Amino acid sequence: MEKEFKTRIIVNPKIMVGKPIIKGTRIPADAIINRMAEGLTIKEILEDYPNLIQKDIKGALQYTAEVIRGEDITPLVVKIKK
């Protein structure tokens, strides 16, 4: 399976201060993720952003998954004194 984000998401320090954006736009990938978290459907997002295509949304999702997959999680143990 091709990872859409490799062709759909770019990071350029001269655009949006280096935030990951949808290629050819100034739309940050996190804006798409936030819209989905708010409950919007892909169809609704495409209506709000008519210059995007479904592959752009898929790319934003894949990019987010890739970033999260690369995070190191260090559990913290908190002792509470009673």
What digits encode the pLDDT tens for the residues 2-53?
676 788 999 999 999 999 999 999 999 999 999 999 999 999 999 999 999 9
Q: Where are the domains of the chain?
A: 5-69
The answer to whether 56 touches 5, Cβ cutoff 8 Å, is no
Residues 6+ apart with CB under 8 A from 51: 24, 25
pLDDT given at position 2:
61
* pLDDT per position as a tens digit, 49-76: 999 999 999 999 999 998 888 777 777 7
Fold of the CATH domain 5-69: Arc Repressor Mutant, subunit A (1.10.10)
